Every structure is written in structure tokens, then in C-alpha cells.
Structure 1
Amino acid sequence: MARKVWIISGPAGVGKSTTARRLAQDMKKSAYVSGDDISHMAVSGRERPWESEQANDLVWKNIVALTENFVEAGYDVVVDWVSFWQDVKRYTAHWIEQGIEVRYVILWADQDVQSNVINAGRARRRWGSGSSYCEMSFEARVHQNATT
């Protein structure tokens, strides 16, 4: 049976983690991989992945390695990470060639709803001052990637 990897993306505060966890819980045998948790594993000298291609690449390499370990053990995997189509294609092409089904989902919410979540502090606690930057950058990159 072909394994599935779900990549749940969207701007800060849209509900990626909640959605990804619930999706994983509803599957028979699954693992949840949090890109945020992986991103914060580097303790000192850490660069922000939305500001550094090298930091983003490191997070992706770790997401891929962990996901591959779970897939090899017979798990479907749900990844929660602010990801863009170009990165998804780059890091998952070999999975598709191996017959692993990759599903890329972008969550979106009204700007008012999203701003309320960020202002309430959930996203700001996780992303710090970068949460507003990520929100605006995500929308710009999604539109940019849609045209390429």
C-alpha cells in the first residue's frame, strides 16, 4: 500500500498545527512532523528560516529525513510547515518517483481572522516579531509561485 505524505502550509496563525494534528489523529497509522519544532532544534546561532535560505534548507532536510524514517516504518505522515510550492517540488520529487502520494494543502483565512489570532498571541509566541512579516511574505510568495 502506497504511503501518503500531507504537507499542510499557510501563513502564521491560520491553524496549520491544529489541522495537521487532527488529520494525523484520524489516520490509522500516522506521524505528525512539526516544521516549527524542527526549526527550533538549533539552539544558538539559529537563523530564521524565512530570512535565510540556508536555515530553510536545513529545516527541509530534517523534515525529509524524519518523514522518510516514518514512511519506511509504514506510517503516513502529516507535515506542518510554512512551505511554498517550489520547496515542496524540490524536496518531495523523489517521493513521488518512489510511489509515495504527496498532498500539498494551503490553509487560508480572512485577514481579520488571521490578524485576531496573531494579535491574540498564539502565532506571535511561536514566531516572535516575525509573525506579521511571515503573514505578508506568505501571501506575496504564494502569488509569486502561482505565476511561475
Structure 2
Amino acid sequence: MQRTVYLVTGPPGVGKTTTSKRLVESLERSAYLSGDAISHYPLNGRGKPWLCEDTLNLTWDNIVSSTKNLLRYDYDVVVDYIILPDRMQWFVEQMKDVDVKMVYTALLVDEMTIVYRDQLRAPEFQMGERSLILLEEFKYSGVDSRYVIDTSTHKLDELDAVVGWIRTNSDFIVKL
């Protein structure tokens, strides 16, 4: 049976972690990989992934290795991280030796929504300006609109519909 890797991305505040975890729950045999958690594997000498290329590359190498291991043990994998189109293409290249279906979904919102949602977080988890910077990066990254879900108006009780859309919309499938 061919397994699926779901790449769920977007800036902080779009609902990618909430969506990713619900997606994992909806799959029969699945695993959740948080890029943020993986980037914190190194405790000493770790740089911020958006500033330190070594930390970012190590994080992605660990994501690739973990994904391949989970696939080998017959799991679908949901990766929750900042995945701009160039990194998505790199990841797809790393997975060419594996029989897998790749699904890429970018969750985006408008500026007012991202600021509002960031303020709902506990102060130690607020991203502030970083959320807006990443939102701009996504807007200008060339992400194909067929991969985008605008979650600006989505409420938590609509989460199952969003997950269903990710699982069934063939537009989200990345051609290998």
C-alpha cells in the first residue's frame, strides 16, 4: 500500500499545528513530525533556523530521515513546519527513492487575522513581527495557488472539513 506524506505549512497563526494534529488523528496509521520540535533536538550550540543555515539543514536532514523511517514501518507522515516552495521541491527530491504520495498544503490568512491569532497565544509563544514577515515570505515565494487554503474565516468547528479537503483534493498532490 502506498503511503502519503502530508506537508502542512504556513506562517505561525494560520492553524497549521492544529490542522496537522487533526489530520494525524484522521489517518489510520500515522505519525506527526513537528519541524519546530525537531529543530530543538540540539540543545547546545543551536542557532535559530531562520538565521543559521546549519541548524536549518540539520533540521531538514532529520525530517527526511524520520519520514523515511516512518514510511518504511508503514506509517503515513504529517510534517508541520515552514515549508516554502523551494524547500518543498528539495524535500520531494530527497524522497524520490521512496514509493510515496506527496501532499502539500499552505495555510494562509490575511494580516489582521495573523496579528489577532498571535495575540491569543501565551506571551512566551507570541511571534509578533516574525509572523508578518513569514506571511510576506509566503506571499512572495511563488507558492502555487492550487496548494493554498485561506483559513482567515475558518473556525475550529470547521477543522474536520479542512482536514477532509487536504485528504481528498487532488490539487494538493505534488507531481513527483
Structure 2 partner of 1:137: 133
Is 1:125 aligned to 2:124, yes or no? yes
| C-alpha distance after superposition, 1:11-70 (max 9, x if no partner) | 012111110010010011100111111112221221111112221111111111111111
| Contact 2:30–2:77, Cα closer than 8 Å, also in 1 | yes
| Contact 2:20–2:79, Cα closer than 8 Å, also in 1 | yes
Question: Which amino acid letter does the alignment assign opposite residue 141 of structure 1?
Answer: E
Against the structure 1 CA distance between its residues 38 and 87, is the aligned structure 2 distance closer, same or farther, given a 3 Å change threshold?
Answer: same
Structure 1 partner of 2:10: 10
| Contact 1:95–1:101, Cα closer than 8 Å, also in 2 | no
Question: What are the equivalent positions in structure 2 for 1:94-113 lying under 5 Å apart?
Answer: 94-96=94-96, 98-113=98-113
Cα separation, 1, equivalents of 2:12 and 2:25: 22
| Contact 1:50–1:56, Cα closer than 8 Å, also in 2 | yes
Structure 1 partner of 2:84: 84
Is 1:50 aligned to 2:50, yes or no? yes
Aligned length: 143
Query: Which moves more between the two structures, 93-102 or 11-20?
Result: 93-102
Greater RCO, 1 or 2 (C-alpha within 8 Å, sep 6+): 1
Against the structure 1 CA distance between its residues 34 and 107, is the aligned structure 2 distance closer, same or farther, given a 3 Å change threshold?
Answer: same
SS in 2 for 1:13: coil
Question: What are the equivalent positions in structure 2 for 1:32-47 lying under 5 Å apart?
Answer: 32-47=32-47
SS in 1 for 2:50: coil
Structure 2 partner of 1:60: 60
Query: Which moves more between the two structures, 103-112 or 72-81?
Result: 103-112
SS in 1 for 2:79: strand
Identity of aligned residues (%): 30
Structure with more of its chain in helix, by fraction: 1
**Structure 2 unaligned runs (5+)?**
144-176
Cα separation, 1, equivalents of 2:64 and 2:85: 15
Cα separation, 2, equivalents of 1:106 and 1:11: 9
Cα separation, 1, equivalents of 2:48 and 2:14: 19
SS in 2 for 1:145: coil
Cα separation, 2, equivalents of 1:86 and 1:98: 20
TM-score in terms of structure 1 length: 0.86
| Contact 1:17–1:80, Cα closer than 8 Å, also in 2 | yes
Give the RMSD, CA atoms, in angstroms: 1.9
Question: Which amino acid letter does the alignment assign opposite residue 137 of structure 1?
Answer: I
